[in-house]
Amino acid sequence: MAFFKQLKSAGVTADTMPVLSVSVAEEEVTGIGVDNIAGHPVAWNYYQTTDTPENEAFVKAYKAKYGQNKVTSDPMEAGYNAVYLWAEAVKKAGTTEVEAVRKAAPGISLDRPEGKVTIDGENQHMYKTARIGIIQPDGLIKQVWDSGEPIKPDPYLKGYPWAGGLSAGQ
C-alpha cells in the first residue's frame, strides 16, 4: 500500500510510469486507495469483470451473500475453483484417499468463473488464461489483453533456457 502512495506523492502516475503488479487485485485497491493506483496495469488470471456466464453467476451469488459493495478477486476465485476441482478428483478416484485423488486429478477440466481450467498431469498445476488489466477509477479492473486460451503451467521454468541452472542453485 505504501509503495503506490509514495509513488503518487512523488508525482509518479500511471501516465508517467505505469507499474505492472502481479499481486494487486480488486480487494487490495481499496486498501491502497483507488486514487493512488487507478490507471496502473495488473496481471492475473481472473478479475471481477471477467466476461463469462460462470463469472456473472459467481459475482451475483457472492454479492448476494456478502454485500453489494464487496468485490471478488483472483486469489478468492482460485480458492473457490480448488474446492470444485478437488471434488471432481474425489469423484473420479471414488475415495478421498490422498494418493488416489492425486492420481485421478490430471486432465480434469471445468468451466469456472475465469474460464476453462485444467489440472496438468505432469506437475499438478493449472492450465489458466493469462490476463492483463488496468485498474479503473471505480476500483475494478478492465481487461485489456488475454492469452486467448489457457496456458500450460511451467512452475519449474523448464521451458525457459535462461532458467536452466535455477533448480541446481546456479
pLDDT of 60-95, one tens digit each?
Answer: 999 999 999 999 999 999 999 999 999 999 999 999
**Taking 70 as the threshold, does the pLDDT of residue 169 lie above it?**
no
How many whole angstroms from its chain centre is CA 135?
15
Looking at residue 170, its pLDDT comes to: 59
Looking at residue 167, its pLDDT comes to: 67
Burial (0-12, 13-18, 19+ Cβ within 10 Å), 48? buried
Three-state SS string over the chain comes to CHHHHHHHHCCCCCCCCCCCECCCCHHHHHHHCHHHHCCCEEEECCCCCCCCHHHHHHHHHHHHHHCCCCCCCHHHHHHHHHHHHHHHHHHHHCCCCHHHHHHHCCCCEEEECCEEEEECCCCCCEEECCEEEEECCCCCEEEEEECCCCECCCCCCCCCHHHCCCCCCC
Looking at residue 40, its pLDDT comes to: 98
Full-model pTM: 0.90
Closest CA to 147 of 77, 57, 45: 45
